[in-house]
Amino acid sequence: METRRGIAVSPGVAIGPARIVESQGAQIARKFVMPDEAPREIARFDKALTASQQEIHELAEGLRTRLDQQVSVSDIFQVHLGILEDPKLRHQITNLITHRLFTAEFAVQEILRRYITSLQEAGDSYLLQRVRDFEDIGQRLLRNLQGETHQQLARAPGPVVIVAHDLTPSQTAGFDKEKVLGIATEAGGRTSHTAILARALGIPAVVGAAGLINSVVDGDMLIVDGSQGAVVITPDEATRQRYQARGRTFEVIEERTAAEFCNLPAVTLDGRAVIIEANIEFPNEVATVLNNGASGVGLYRTEFLYHTAENPPDEEAHFQAYMEAIRALKDHPMTIRILDLGADKFPSGFPERNPFLGCRSMRLLRLQPTVFRNQIRAILRASAMGKLRFMFPMIANLAELREARKVVTEVMEEFDAAGAVYDKKIQVGIMIEVPSAAMTADLLAEESDFFSIGTNDLVQYTLAVDRDNERVAHLYSPVDPAVLRLIQRTVQAGQKAGIRVSMCGEMAGDIMHTILLVGMGFESLSMAPSVIPDVKKLIRSIRYEGAKKIADHALSLKTAKEVEQYLSDETRKVVPELVQERQPEG
């Protein structure tokens, strides 16, 4: 059993055998034709163009009838059609055939490549995801030129889970929900068309799961958890049963509360307000998370700038991404996490015997001062335009914090000297995700403007458990007494120093832990957008005084299992409809 993590883009759980889909798009060799053959090439191209337009008509119509009101989805193909019907496209391609004597195939590839290059040069993350649309159009034309019949992937023999490096919108739209149980890809983002189509088709999907293809063999049993962003490869029987139970109830749960609660504030019955923020990977998610009821972005994971760029993002790339977010934030605050590279995310390239204890996050940035400074500069520049905070990941002791803050001070001095505008009072915080940081939270609080607890790392470091290792995963629990004591210590240190303590780990978005966290005194929680309505509903159904008692009792229990059972019982009492049949994790 092995688990790969990615971005959850289409909720639900799918369990089935893997079917690996090769990426389309082999390179076309540069070949020429004789001048008298050019008209024939143009005629071939025109025939392929007409056939492609016809296919898209059918695809869009098919989607429209399958999805009833999901007209917006077939709009994606209306745009493909618009491009294929654009006289400019035909003109440019036939020009290359006539004047350069390219074969129709090479001319098509060449023009589409030029379009894609200009999109990439724009450097906007939303536009970059549109590259796939142009590739899709190109591949459709090439396939028709080469006379292949229109084959849809859905013609798979039985229900399968599709695994691919990336999929084109056409491939995704061709999927039949009866035969394609779930989708897992290595590339893509939340707003890629694959993601949008999978959601519209109701197929659970995870994208951005790095290293997936090399871990999966055709026919392997897979679980795609499109709500949490996990792909489990060859799960054991217990894991499989747990997911099966979740798969049955999840749809009812997630749909129901969404509309009702997303716009209400998260205030307990006795008036304690909790700030609910969202975790994002891409700036273009901001609008969606605000619609989901988040009052800001509590964690912007900037590593994903590496996803879309070929080279390390420069200052301008950072700045553009932050500005894109700020424009959509409309004055809501955003907390940017400094690049958290290394370990499981974009490995450093150094040989690491133990990557999680190695050169990752701030330790890696120390060796790459330019990368670090570029990001600080971009954040400071953008801070003049919107409400930004930023935080350092993986701080283990005060010396590291001081070293990082020194760089920030230097950059600020450069700005002052140059008369550049920035928010001089910008808050600089740290992630608390190493046990040593939690233990010395009182010291760190004196030199930090806020804390944000990252539970995934805090749990694994505290308990010495890799939760993706099946033989020890049962030992992983965010409510283990050791973890809870570290969290409590951090909250108390923050309260004493008068700084905000937030949590942005997975634990913050699990309704089983909401009462506990509110009771422990968290002022803000940041989570995946999809869980916000449930968490709000729960907070609005409890009393802060009661939650404090529950937290106290939970902290007095002796084992993780006892705490889990207790919290599950207490949560069920308040919102039985959200807990039904759901098994406690771990």
Partner 1 sequence: MRFQKSVPLIHKTGLHLRPARRIMDAAGKFKCDIKLMYRGKTANAKSITDIILLAALPGAELLIVTEGTDAQEAMTTLEDVIVNSINRDEDI
Positions touching partner 1 (CB under 8 A) are 72, 75-76, 78-79, 82-83, 86-89, 115, 118-119, 121-122, 124, 126-127, 130, 133, 191, 284, 287, 324, 327-328
Of 322 and 392, which has the nearer Cβ to partner 1? 322
| Least distance between partner 1 and beta carbon 13 (Å) | 27
State how far the Cα of 24 lies from the Cα of 70, in Å rounded to an integer: 27
- 502, 524 contact by CB (below 8 A): yes
Pick from 244, 213, 208: nearest CA to 16: 244
State how far the Cα of 72 lies from the Cα of 10, in Å rounded to an integer: 17
State how far the Cα of 567 lies from the Cα of 226, in Å rounded to an integer: 25
| Least distance between partner 1 and beta carbon 88 (Å) | 4
Q: How far is CA 239 from the centre of its chain?
A: 23
- 185, 212 contact by CB (below 8 A): yes
Of 137 and 404, which has the nearer Cβ to partner 1? 137
Known active-site residue 193? yes
Of 119 and 267, which has the nearer Cβ to partner 1? 119
Q: Which residue has the tokens 């939270």?
A: 441
Which of 80, 262, 359, 504 is labelled catalytic? 504
| Least distance between partner 1 and beta carbon 200 (Å) | 13
Known active-site residue 504? yes
| Least distance between partner 1 and beta carbon 131 (Å) | 11
What is the total residue count of the chain? 586
| Least distance between partner 1 and beta carbon 7 (Å) | 17
Of 120 and 456, which has the nearer Cβ to partner 1? 120
Separation of first and last alpha carbons in the chain = 15
Which of 193, 318, 332, 513 is labelled catalytic? 193
State how far the Cα of 321 lies from the Cα of 204, in Å rounded to an integer: 28
| Least distance between partner 1 and beta carbon 323 (Å) | 8
Of 191 and 239, which has the nearer Cβ to partner 1? 191
State how far the Cα of 433 lies from the Cα of 74, in Å rounded to an integer: 44
DSSP state letter for 175: -
State how far the Cα of 12 lies from the Cα of 286, in Å rounded to an integer: 22
Residue 585 φ then ψ, to 5°: -70, 155
State how far the Cα of 579 lies from the Cα of 398, in Å rounded to an integer: 41
544-556 vs 481-497: helix axis angle to the nearest 10?
A: 130
| Least distance between partner 1 and beta carbon 320 (Å) | 8
Q: How far is CA 220 from the centre of its chain?
A: 25
Of 385 and 412, which has the nearer Cβ to partner 1? 385
State how far the Cα of 467 lies from the Cα of 477, in Å rounded to an integer: 9
Going by C-beta distance under 8 Å and a sequence separation of 6 or more, which residues neighbour residue 75? none
Pick from 303, 6, 271, 15: nearest CA to 161: 15
Of 328 and 516, which has the nearer Cβ to partner 1? 328
Q: Which residues are catalytic?
A: 193, 504
